[in-house]
Chains A and B, each alone.
Chain A
Amino acid sequence: MTEGAPAARPGSGRTGRWLARASRHRVALTLAFLLVFPWIAPYQALAVNILVLGLYALGFNLLFGYTGLLSFGHAAFLGGGAYGCGIAIVHYGLHPGLALAAGTLLATLIAAAMGVLAIRTRGIYFAMTTLALSMCVYYAFYRAEAFTGGENGLRGINVPSVALPGVRLNLLDPTVKYYAVLAVVGLAIWLFSRLLSSPFGAALEAIRENEHRAQACGYDVARMKLAAFVISGALCGLAGALQAIHLSIVPIEIMHYSTSGQAVMMALLGGMGTFFGPFVGAATFSLLQDGLATLTSHWQLFVGAIFIAFVLFLPLGIWGEVLARLRRAGW
């Protein structure tokens, strides 16, 4: 997996003037799109879901698309963030801002513990180790019924409004809620972009291209992988924390391995290793599921078929393919 990934990498090749410009302003362009997104989405609750899932896929993409590590355990970070935030609000009555930090911190700690163990393995073994460890985390949270609500899920994360210096945001208004979540997601996107353009980001891509060569160049590969793993976990944790406040509940399903699979699916659909791809993937995934479920009760069949078609005919993912075509056209 570590060495097999570069075949489907849209970042290579000559880049035209327009794409270079767009790449320089990738944060602004992504935010511009997300600002108008609620008017395109069928309803705002879904738009917030897509925003949160987009951040989840973005965090996952740091590891999968940019570092070349396929993890099947990211549900533990999304869930850890959600439970951390939810428990902080329900059991300790913390301010939502602090609760977001608490959730992200819990996810970071889980990622650090899992990363130390998983990073020693590679390829399919890495995927299996992360999967197994995430299921351990799942059962730990499932059992801690006093804190997490167990099978019934954690309820009562009711944040009707947030008091910030000078303003009080009414989160029961779906539009206000969308933009409040976008403010946090926007900050994370900006940080993510800064990280990618730093020497650290370049080193991660070097590891993806050829781990041995990166090592020969003097990079501490094991440590960088661990750092990428933890940062990826933290971003996913933040997504989970936002999800908890958005839905006002945390279901135990959030930690199930199928949620980890969802991250892989969204990253592949959107285009792994692209900046904007995760959001395209999250939007496609959610809209497909939402739209088809309203039309037919056999929606899973169609989602599966469409996913197979994408893997067969658009291996770069939707956004990856768009970028590749624009590049070929000399943009």
Chain B
Amino acid sequence: MTTGIDRRGLLRGSAAASTLALAAPALLRSAAAQAGPIRIGFPVPLTGAFGAEANDQVRAAQLAIKEFNAAGGFDGRTAELLVRDDKINPGEAATRTLELIEKDRVNFLVGGLSAAVTLSINNVARERGVIYNSISQSDAINEAKDFGRTTFHEALNPHMTAGAVGRYVFPKSGKRVAFLSADYAYGHEMMRGFKRAGEASGIEVVADIRHPIGASDYSAFLPRIAALKPDVLCLCNFGRDQVVSIQQATEFGLKRNTKLVAPVLLFTARKAGGDAFDGVVGGTSYYWRLEDTVPSAKAFNDRFRAAYNGAVPSDYGALGYAGVRSVLEGVKAAGSTDTAKVVTAMEGLKADFYKGPQSFRACDHQSVQSVLIVEAKSKGMSTPDDVFTILGTEGPDERFLRGCDELGHKA
């Protein structure tokens, strides 16, 4: 009886097969590294106080990926977004970033939504030479101590946001200014921005009051401020603190004599806070009504509406889009996914993705971009999403940033 397979052949065959099986993972891995999709890690706080913002960031980032792939990707490679929940906890963010770099072998990182979290992701990424484009407000990330050559900052920083708002408000509303600030780094950075802007118009600081972060009762601070009758009250706080303090300031009747100013007015916070925000002036990186004047904003909004049932992108959402798009445009311009080449390409990027011209400053990779000054409204809205009036725009200019020397960068 012959089976057609002799023992020797069987041995030889199985030896070859097992060699192949052993080598397969290695072969696959190196093949994936060369021709697999371009992987972008995206840690954002899907759970926690900023879940709404984070989910909007994911949707907008997915749009950037979809556009890139629809346009044929790069060199036959598509892009892929790996979303991770950082739970707005810096330790969790560091662990997730390690996972994305070591296990998922991402090419790039984009994300973060809190100064502490973005600094944590940045520290892990720069130590491993992975490009990280931060989309969270922070002043510290510009400073030489935290900066790495692979660090990019797509978002505004507190200094330029508060500065732009201050330069707009102080000449118009008066020189007697009171500050109510959340007592932590972000609040202090905002206040520094306001004060620097105020020096030019000669403001007089009548009160400088700090409240603990997460405070729910402002009745100890607001009557003191109301008694001083300042022209302007700057609320240097964020998120829920901002919503609650503005609601209580309205109840205390501060709006009668005083202009309320918040450095960052979030689209989502205004929608949550309702008409208490009426008349409050603040800054933002993006508001969808920019489409009335800026063609790239119109195009971006239309693509977003088409993808998500007519919804408009929020300010933080738009940053998710821009963060991913900057990196992918960097890849196209560099003609490579090699880190050093993409860094150089991103440094030279002259972009107009969604809000007008933008570029990264050479010394700290801060995105130099326009800041919108908006006023919240609840009447005369064209749609339920029409919650702000754009009062003005401060164009992109390095003058409004802290100087490279001041940040500790050597020329």
Contacts and interface: CB of A to CB of B under 8 A. Distances in A.
Contacts of B185: 145, 150-152
A139 B123 CA distance: 24
Contacts of B142: none
Interface in B117-145: 119-120, 122-124, 127-128, 138, 140, 145
Nearest to B138: A152
B46 to A, nearest CB: 5
Given A43-B99, A150-B185, A249 B51 contact: no
Interface string A147-187: 00011110110101000000000001010000000000000
Contact of B140 (A42, A152, A300): A152
Interface string A28-59: 00000000000000111110010000000000
A248 B91 CA distance: 10
Contacts of A85: none
Given A297-B46, A297-B85, A299-B47, A45 B95 contact: yes
B184 A44 contact: no
B90 interface: yes
Interface residue SS majority, chain B: helix
A155 B146 contact: yes
B225 interface: no
B116 A252 contact: yes
Interface string B274-290: 00000000000000000
A196 interface: no
Contacts of B119: 152-153, 155, 249
Interface residues of A, number: 31
Given A45-B102, A151-B185, A158 B123 contact: yes
B116 A251 contact: yes
Interface residue SS majority, chain A: helix
A44 B46 contact: no
B127 A158 contact: yes
A213 B102 CA distance: 54
Contacts of A191: none
A254 interface: yes
B24 interface: no
B127 A249 contact: no
A105 B98 CA distance: 28
B170 interface: no
Given A155-B123, A249-B123, A150 B184 contact: yes
B127 A248 contact: yes
Nearest to B184: A151
A247 B91 contact: yes
B7 interface: no
Contacts of A46: 95, 99
Interface of B: 46-47, 51, 84-85, 87, 89-91, 94-95, 98-99, 102-103, 115-116, 119-120, 122-124, 127-128, 138, 140, 145-146, 184-186, 213
Given A44-B102, A158-B123, A251-B120, 19 more contacts: A150-B185, A152-B115, A152-B119, A152-B138, A153-B120, A155-B123, A160-B127, A172-B127, A247-B94, A247-B120, A248-B127, A249-B94, A249-B124, A251-B90, A251-B91, A251-B116, A254-B91, A293-B47, A297-B46
6 contacts: A44-B102, A153-B116, A156-B145, A174-B102, A247-B124, A297-B46
Interface of A: 42-46, 49, 145, 150-153, 155-156, 158, 160, 172, 174, 243, 247-249, 251-254, 293-294, 297-300
